[in-house]
Chains A and B, each alone.
Chain A
């Protein structure tokens, strides 16, 4: 299907993406409802940028990002991806959501993923060399000896030594394992990498090393990142733009500076105020969030955030606010985005 992205600078455009998981009950496993893990989410990732995706656990950030690269089949919506495989200027645009799976395979070379848990995402029976060359083998690019050099190059790019090639994952520390995972993601020279909580399992000092490495690699290999995380300070550090999700929906998207200093959605405001600041003399004034994240199989009416929102009015209980552009490059899904004076961070 011919698809197009208007802006030539956009690498991936997600339009009205939905992913529902059925809830089955009874002897016949009848579908009795759906968990709307991702419910009408739209966003775009521009070439060379890092888009941070934040939200609490269960908000659908992992599902949204995995559906966007077709690790899950979407329930509805479109995912337009600009492929540069043929080397032609603006590249060709494919809709990943509807593409037959056999046509997906060549595109997978351009999209890679790094997982959160560096222990469980590496096969303990494979040597580092095998782990890193596996993507090449799968795509028929493993040329034996020549590939050895390639693998060595990848390992040194992520700061591992050539003698590490024949070792096994258990011989490495958490930070080094994450580097192996990053080297594997780079093996096919992708243009887009989905990083799902890549540093949350790491120690503070290792976290800084890994974040710096990711920034260096982005420059060296001309990469675009979709960075999923819950730590707002990490996301702020690495991202160009940040998107906030709540119960399967996108509530706010803006360039990071703008989002952190001038949030336009009450949930973003609350999230920022909950984030602990390493500055004991200037503690943040917390906006208390009462109660819990609603159950995505039975979300509240209207705006999903209204039961916890201190600014909620009648309209919030009845009407669902769409994600609207409210400023330059700034979108918010709040009825009162223009009227509220929300507190950001200095």
Chain B
């Protein structure tokens, strides 16, 4: 039960989240104790390589895990603000069944998501307007301005009438910068360009005024100039609507421009979380450091070779014991890192890093052992 309290600035607090998937070969421990917080109206960037569990985390928050996946333990505390009274209540999303009314209200309403592939996440048989209208009719309550008879009919269904939903859809398309929204509202996905499709996705997500927008690699399939447009748009809309964003990406350049806070994931764990500034200029986990050194940077690579992280991400059935990064870590302490699991500890500029180098007890033992 959610007996804990949250700082009023915190929108979502994930504590020790574990998600497992049952597959033929056994159990994949996709998330092994994920901890992070998302602050209200701020952007948390989540970076990591494929298989690190970024998308699984996003889907767990939405209660949209595949059938063979389950939340084994942990809490996802969501600070729900009641618009009318100003009170807030704490909901542990981890405890809510996926098909409960509460989850249905939250999902797509207060917590919205946009995906990487705008083509495959829009249905080809719906127009842009229908896509947005569907979400509006499901989540928004009708306004009080409609005529008597209509009002009765609507009250029964408690739905916004179609025409009004279309009007809101047009407004939303205009907000996300689609030219001639009146015409575009009847366009099908195939008639739109990649950037426009992603704008439609954003319009759907924002149409119900979410408090949290989960963006899972929203610009990976787009060109650089389109990517810049979409990211700028998201920042503008964040200012206007005040929602928090959980921005998942593998692109360190994008995250530097988008996020206030960053969580670095590796093999189902958060290895470091802190402010963007701390992560980029004073990284404390060897994985974060290696990642930052391995990317080509314009103007800094004259004639040089890139530093690489040796080896590759292990497959989910052969995760090393102890710290899961120990087999690729340049600073590995043999006999220590493969035996012990590091916790997230305060390090550097106030960020938290899961590395035994920052664990005073471990380090004391190591020094003592060296002396002897």
Contact = CB atoms under 8 A, between A and B. Distances in A.
Interface residues of B, number: 45
A206 B51 CA distance: 13
A208 B306 contact: yes
B296 A211 contact: yes
A152 B93 CA distance: 53
Nearest to B228: A274
A68 B152 CA distance: 69
Contacts of A272: 298
B256 A276 contact: yes
Nearest to A275: B224
B229 A260 contact: no
Nearest to B50: A203
B254 A276 contact: yes
B90 interface: no
B281 interface: yes
Interface in A215-262: 215, 230-234, 236-237, 257, 260-261
A271 to B, nearest CB: 6
Contact of A236 (B49, B226, B257, B301): B301
B295 A279 contact: no
Which of the four size classes fits the interface of chain A?
A: 35 or more
Contacts of A173: 312-313
Nearest to A277: B253
Contacts, number: 131
B296 A234 contact: yes
Contacts of A261: 299
A204 B309 CA distance: 9
A319 B227 CA distance: 30
A237 B306 contact: yes
Given A233-B295, A261-B299, A280-B257, A274 B305 contact: no
B224 A208 contact: no
Contacts of A230: 223-224
Interface string B283-296: 00000001110111
A30 interface: no
B225 A270 contact: yes
Nearest to A346: B299
B133 interface: no
A286 interface: yes
A203 B308 CA distance: 12
A276 B253 contact: yes
B250 A204 contact: yes
A175 to B, nearest CB: 6
Given A212-B305, A292-B193, A280 B280 contact: yes
A102 interface: no
A237 B301 contact: yes
B297 interface: yes
A309 interface: no
B349 interface: no
The 4 closest A-B pairs by CB, nearest first: A276-B253, A237-B296, A274-B228, A208-B294
Given A176-B312, A237-B306, A274-B224, 9 more contacts: A204-B252, A236-B298, A237-B296, A272-B298, A277-B297, A280-B257, A283-B257, A291-B179, A292-B195
Interface of B: 49-50, 179, 193-195, 223-229, 231-232, 250-257, 276-277, 280-281, 290-292, 294-299, 301-302, 305-309, 312-313
Interface of A: 56-57, 173-176, 203-209, 211-212, 215, 230-234, 236-237, 257, 260-261, 270-281, 283, 286, 288-289, 291-293, 345-346
18 contacts: A56-B223, A175-B312, A205-B49, A205-B312, A208-B307, A236-B298, A236-B299, A257-B302, A261-B299, A275-B298, A276-B227, A276-B228, A276-B253, A278-B280, A278-B297, A280-B257, A292-B226, A293-B223
